[in-house]
Structure 1
Amino acid sequence: MSLLKSSNLGYPRIGVNREWKKTLEAFWAGKLSDSDLILQLEAIRLGHLKVQKEKGIDIIPVNDFSLYDHMLDTATMFGLVPKRFAYEGGKVPVSTYYAMARGDKGATACEMTKWFNTNYHYIVPEFNETEPVLTENRPLQAYQEAKDKLGIEGKPVLIGLYTFLKLSKGYKQDQIEELVQKLIPLYSQILVELEQAGAKWVQIDEPILVTSLTEVEIKLVQAIYAELNEAAPGLKIMLQTYFESVEHYQEIVSLPVQGIGLDFVHGFTSNLQAIEAHGFPEDKVLGVGLIDGRGIWRADFPSKLGLLEKVSAIVPYERLIVQPSCSLLHVPVTTKPETKLEAVLKNALAFADEKLDEIVLLAQAVSTGLDSVSAKLEENQRALKALDEDPSRNKKSVQAAVKEIYEKQSTRNNGFAERRVVQQEKWQLPFLPTTTIGSFPQSAEIRQARQKWRKSEWTNEQYEKFVQEQIKAWIELQEQIGLDVLVHGEFERTDMVEFFGEKLDGFAFTLNGWVQSYGSRCVKPPIIFGDVQFTDTMTVAESVYAQSLTSKPVKGMLTGPITILNWSFVRDDMTREQVSYQIALALREEVESLERAGIEMIQVDEPALREGLPLKRADWEHYLNWAVLAFRVATSTVKDTTQIHTHMCYCEFHDIIDSIRALDADVISIETSRSHGELIHSFEEYTYDKGIGLGVYDIHSPRVPSEEEMVSMIDRALKVLDPALFWINPDCGLKTRGMEETVASLRVMVQATEAVRERRLAAK
């Protein structure tokens, strides 16, 4: 029997070759029936369980798989389906489930937002219209499937009641205790049925416990777990936290559960200090989140074993479980397909499957002694040392330039009020100028052309000609539609971060390093492994060509330093702040190149600014200060007449409004259509005094909104925003949409804008 047990918290859903994504999209395209979908997903799910079993993981999670999203799974399991989807009770049909995620012709999709400070997006449950009821016991089904079909005694995973409630919407704060009492019987029933089926452990994820909770909230958590523990006393609860150290450590570890899972990667200092200061209950198991579930670097085994030894001085190995810091949902599946990476880099990487190997190795090192794994430990150290010494990580000129940032002011020549006057004179834009966020549909033809070019089946000249044809067609379309400020469409780009990383030193790219962003949308984050440096212009040619085709202004389109940082896998040998400055300095050179080439509207997108916020409010100020500085380093050297735009995804705007102002962008557009009312409410309380565009329709849904809907959106915004500073735009880029729906929606957007303009003019 092993002295130290190994466990996993969750496995990537998408499959080695994105089988999961392809299955979902085939179903949505009408190529699979409901039953075919379920069968194919079952095969993928069982395959994932087999991998973990073969790796030697002692405690394997089940119910971490999903048809789309785990929060949506939980909402539909509790029958929380808004009335607009015409749900009539019982088990939620697959069609309704996906309508909630993606919208349909008769109903807008549920809101989607970031899962804590990750780049994963979850569907936000709504409580305002329906009473919760248990429609099916998903954890039980997953447990029985793994046991019956694979002989695996799985550990069912369930989103914790308090986390689920806190991340939902549609209720007032004074209703929370009432809702807790409605949910407790449902959670209790799930646990009772698991206990009756013979389950030993259940993993209840409560990441909300790492955020700043009040004493009142902690008491409510205590009451929840007192009832849940009493409901199924024979079932062991592993209360799992991740992404940071827990708040209220003593109260949390005293909860009536049989195990506590703590993050010893992202919150290891505080969690370790808490254990050393206060001890750990003798009647509980400690899940030690030792392997980074969000990063892609090999673990430094001597430091991990040293940390385990420190913890074992307080909690004996017999009551420890070694596991990742969080679900492996946030990393690619395996490094095996990465045949084109330099050996020094590939040898230093660990994706999900390799992290499982690391977990098993750590358990083995403790259980059978270091001698049994000495060869693997030595190989690990050689790989990490080789990367550390690589010249790409030791560019003195780049590191010196970063140091100078702290000594220089990064501000525009004049303030916004002065810039606005000269920009109005230069651009002569109409009232309520219309534009888009940047990208246009990437058709199958465009993707095929890019593949031909990447495979050298097309020459550079052939590909450039093809891209120019797409740009020309869409410049003409934008003029026909009547947009005021145009974009070139980004047809040469795969991903808004990958594109820039491919043109900068210090980045590497995988062949198959996909991770889920939302639904079937997968991204392949670049790897920032070395010092980041500008080498040549990246966007100038396409922007200049587009501008040559029209007398209307064309925006240059860049991704900002914080988004590139937050949407990449980042080196772990220096701070994220230092890396962001390296990226900002490289982008500054591109901004200046665009301006010299005559492109004097430049959009530097920062959709990921908010998601990078630390989970502890006490750490927000430091992060926001360096994030703002990085943006200004990239954008502050331009002329007053050059208009800097930026774009952000929806966030709790009022939380960071001072920092958004401090970016000093001339125009900001914000993704808001799924939560327009909430953002409008923010502006009723907080003034924003620069150019702003609130997305007037949801690009994540295929439906074409009506003119009346958009006019209503515009009117609501103009009640609290200065009409002279207001822009009209979709809420995000249009890359994932079809051409027909894109053109139709933009036509309606322009019609709605003209209707508001005419009404305002008539009222004067």
Structure 2
Amino acid sequence: METLAYGFPKLGEKREFKNLLENYWKGKISEEDLIKGINALRDWMVGLYKDTVDLFPSNELSYYDFMLDTAIMVGAVPSRFGEFKGLSTYFEMARGSQALEMTKYFNTNYHYLVPELEGTDFKLLKNYPLEEYLYFKSKGIETLPKIISPYTFLKLSKALVKGSSPLPVYHLSKIERFEDLERYLLALLPVYEEVLKQLRQEGAKVVLFEDPALCYEMESQEWDLVHEMYKRLSEHADIYVMTYYDSVSDYKRFVDLPVKALGLDLVSNRENLENIRKHGFPSDKKLIAGIINGRQVWRASLTEKIRLAEELLKYAQHLIISNSCPLFHLPVSTQPEEDLPVHQVQIEGLTSLSLKERLAFAKEKLQELNLIKRAIEGDQQARMMVEKVENIVSVPFGVNQEVRRRVNALTERDFQRELDYKERIKLQQEILRLPTFPTTTIGSFPQTEEVRKIRASYTAGKVSPKEYEEFIKKQIQHVIRVQEEIGLDVLVHGEFERTDMVEFFAQKLEGIATTKHGWVLSYGSRVYRPPIIYGDVYRPSPMTLNEITYAQSLTEKPVKGMLTGPVTILNWSYYREDIPKKEIAYQIALALLEEVKDLERAGIKIIQIDEPAFREGAPIKRKDWDEYFDWAVKAFRLCSRANPQTQIHTHMCYSEFNDVMEYIYQMDFDVISIEASRSKGEIISAFEKFKGWDRQIGIGVYDIHSPAVPTKESIRSVLERAMKVLPKELLWVNPDCGLKTRRWEEVVPSLKNMVEVAQELREKYATV
């Protein structure tokens, strides 16, 4: 038996990756310094692997995104970027004024850049796998070069296809027809074959292919195509295929693939293990068993994992145990976390137990793999450690019976608003009296270095609560004044007191812990610290009331109450696994409902409940969607059960909405705001195809991930595209997402352009 680990977080112990990128973008370090720093991180990552597991990959440390790397590797650089000129073109594709579209990687919170295929003229432009393989080989370290498979690459890409009115003559669309998939794959394979040939020439014997798209629901003809793909690629290397996030769609076809090893996620689903038990496993292939959870921070029950590994040895002649999916969904290590909750317990040798003792981040996951192997091989010290861990993970933690009683008492009435939308909107319009094309923002405004510094000082106890409160009030005063000067119709308070849209609420709720160093990459250099839902969740006191009501006291215009929805808090946190996810969602929703009622009583007329993770939390297979969306919709409706006069907004971004419109509509909000700028308004086609759409929509006309100020022409084109599909009376005008990562000198002119376009459209269509 061997151990394999992959996908270790590239961020570094002290967020070195983030600092390198941002200093390079600011011109503080040279390209040479950036490369040197990235190589130091590569050495660190592989050093951790080398100390704990038998097999480990190279080609894991992308400068921005591994899907972008793959697109460049195969020469899929859209013509608008001109000739590829190294990092300048690379970062222009990632974050320039015409950057690639961004969306979620399967059902995770990692955002990847969507490759754009303008044709089938692929070529080997840059052999990233070879470069990194040779880097480590020069140091005497043998690695497994890792590549996104051609199949997964194409399933996550968009291709230029011919459309019909009102779409452009050509537009980018997902490759869904089998004929198109086959055509692109056959054109792509020679490039991959060349990559493998060059690797083999330099001594690489095994290449690791990540192919999670094999967990989609696949037709027989697609399996035929994948089989032929691996048959060709296997002529040039021994291929290990990794799948994750779900079960493979057809186990028999999967184990029949002509490769040397097959990786199965045995954590996220039951089907993979059931199929191994039912159908066995081929004797001529290695089984890579993903038994350690790569997406959750809980310590594994090592006794159970050892029992599972020993069972798998009966089916597989050569077993490799691994993490269930890439480890980049986890923070680096629990080691620096010293302030996590401690609960009193009564178990042998323990009177108290810290949450930290129940956690395993990426480093600790490597150690778990090492410990399982050693215990199975008879290492007595390892077996003693396994027994100690079992005592810790078996103890109940964070139980609140009153919270559970409230969830159990919920009835269908609790998930319904008092009046339907058509009646609600009349009452809201009488109160709000907003113009056509009302303008607003998503919520946050720039968090300057001063804001971050004062907040850090407050957290460290160097600034008193009163001083911090006065500082936040001054920031709110400033942002209200700026918004009024720009001419926005619906204002926000700026969220200067919030580090992160989920972490802020986690810090206010019981049953959820936050970390100090548990950073995870979301995209590029953007990091966040996922909270840890360890117990029953409830709200001990109001969370947002002071800041929102203060902001509203400064203006006659409506100020939105800003909340993060229950599904997003759940999906962007590490959640407990001892009760169903829907019960956790309902617990959070009940806490948020208390906040909604407090805001209403304080006179707040618009409340935005953001749910950007609503779509991404859906299972990969559509057959499992109904169960997930049933409770996800109910959780939102539970927390948004406001008075009919209160206008409920929600915000979603950077997800594929076309196939979930029915579920989104069932959420029963009054206004939804969406991303539309990177997709040039094409996301509107999702609403075009949905018959009977009658809710208001805030069109994202300003890409907040780019430092470029959007022109009035680009803003107008998105809105005019929307008006071909939706009545102008339904349209709001707003940025794609929050503005916290941008600078004031970018934000102000961008919002001015946005407001001016809205005013010009009102004049053009003679509306008020």
Global fold match (TM > 0.5) = yes
For residue 711 of structure 1, what is the aligned residue in structure 2?
716
The CA deviation at 1:600 is 1.8
Matched with 2:257 is: 255
* Percentage of identical aligned residues: 49
Q: Is the 8 A contact 2:681 2:722 kept in 1?
A: no
Cα deviations across residues 341-397 of structure 1 (Å, max 9, x unaligned)? 24521001001110000001111122x2263522111111122133x2x3x2x2110
Q: In 2, distance between residues paired with 1:759 and 1:130?
A: 43
Distance 1:595 1:676 in 2: 36
Are the aligned partners of 1:82 and 1:130 in contact in 2 as well (CA < 8 Å)? Answer: no
Q: Contact conserved, 1:515 with 1:522, CA < 8 A, in 2?
A: yes
Question: Who is 2:147 aligned against?
Answer: 158
The list of structure 1 runs, each at least 4 consecutive aligned residues, that deviate by more than 4 angstroms after superposition, is none
The equivalent of 1:290 in structure 2 is 291
The one-letter code matched in structure 2 to 1:95 is S
Per the alignment, residue 97 of structure 1 pairs with 90
Q: CA deviation at 1:672?
A: 2.0
Q: CA deviation at 1:33?
A: 1.1
In 1, Cα distance between equivalents of 2:314 and 2:51 = 31
CA contact 1:71–1:123 (8 Å) conserved in 2: yes
Equivalent AA in structure 2 for residue 363 of structure 1: K
Cα shift readout 1:402-437 (whole Å, capped 9, x = no counterpart): 111245442111100001111111111111111110
Q: CA RMSD in A?
A: 1.4
Q: Secondary structure at the match of 1:513?
A: coil
Q: 2:375 aligns with which of 347, 360, 365?
A: 365
Match of 2:312 in 1: 311
Q: 1:45 aligns with which of 39, 42, 45?
A: 42
Indicate which of 654, 669, 672 corresponds to 2:673. Answer: 669
SS in structure 1 of the partner of residue 562 of structure 2? strand
| Structure 2 SS opposite 1:557 | strand
Distance, in Å, in 1 between the alignment partners of 2:510 and 2:156 is 39
User: What are the residue-to-residue correspondences of 1:355-754 with 2, within 5 Å?
Assistant: 355-366=365-376, 368-369=377-378, 371-386=380-395, 388=396, 390=397, 392=398, 394-406=399-411, 408-636=413-641, 638-687=642-691, 688-754=693-759
Q: Which runs of 5+ in 2 are unaligned?
A: 162-176, 343-352
State the secondary structure of the residue aligned to 1:289: strand
- 2:147, 2:306 → 1: CA distance? 30
Whether the 8 Å contact between 1:82 and 1:129 is mirrored in structure 2 is: no
1:51 partner amino acid: L
Aligned 1:322-341 pairs, distance under 5 A: 322-341=321-340
| 2:64 aligned counterpart, secondary structure | coil
Q: Aligned pair 1:131/2:121, yes or no?
A: yes
Note the C-alpha offset of 1:40: 1.0
Inter-partner Cα distance in structure 1 for 2:473 and 2:120: 51
**1:750 aligned counterpart, secondary structure:** helix
* Residue in structure 1 matched with residue 167 of structure 2 by the alignment: none
Question: Which residue does 1:237 correspond to in 2?
Answer: 239
Q: What secondary structure does 1:656 align onto?
A: helix
Cα distance, 1:651 vs structure 2 = 2.9
Cα distance change of structure 1 residues 357 and 375 upon mapping to structure 2, 3 Å threshold: same
Distance 2:683 2:613 in 1: 17
1:449 is displaced (CA, Å) by 0.9
Contact 1:83 1:129 (C-alpha < 8 Å) held by counterparts: no
Segment drifting more, 436-445 vs 307-316 = 307-316
Cα distance in 2 between the residues matched to 1:130 and 1:741: 38
CA drift at 1:48: 1.1
State the alpha-carbon separation in 2 of the partners of residues 405 and 206 from structure 1. 41
Deviation of the 1:153 alpha carbon? 1.1
Structure 2 letter corresponding to 1:170: A
Superposed CA offset, 1:272-326 (max 9, x none) = 111122221111000000100111000101111122222222113xx10011001
What does residue 63 of structure 1 align with?
A: 59
Deviations 1:552-587 (A, max 9, x none): 000000000000001111111111111111100100
Counterpart code for 1:322: I
The separation in 2 between residues aligned to 1:372 and 1:751, in whole angstroms, is: 70
The separation in 1 between residues aligned to 2:565 and 2:364, in whole angstroms, is 31
CA contact (8 A) 1:527 1:569 kept: yes
- Which amino acid is the alignment partner of residue 100 of structure 2? C
Q: Distance in 1 between matches of 2:490 and 2:142?
A: 59
Distance 1:472 1:186 in 2: 57
- Give the 5 Å matches for 1:66-85: 66-85=62-81
Larger helix share, 1 or 2 = 1
C-alpha contact (below 8 Å) 1:344/1:383 kept by paired residues: no
Structure 2 Cα separation of the partners of residues 209 and 176 of structure 1: 14
**What is the number of equivalent residue pairs in this alignment?**
740
Secondary structure of 1:458 counterpart: coil
**Deviation, structure 1 residue 724:** 1.4
Deviation at 1:53, TM superposition (A): 1.1
Moved more, 521-530 or 190-199: 190-199
Deviation at 1:25, TM superposition (A): 0.5
| TM-score with structure 1 setting the length | 0.95
Separation of aligned partners in 2, 1:9 and 1:543: 44
| Structure 1 residue matching 2:136: 3-state secondary structure | helix
Comparing 678-687 with 25-34, greater Cα deviation is found at: 678-687
> Among 108, 132, 136, which residue is 1:118 paired with?
108
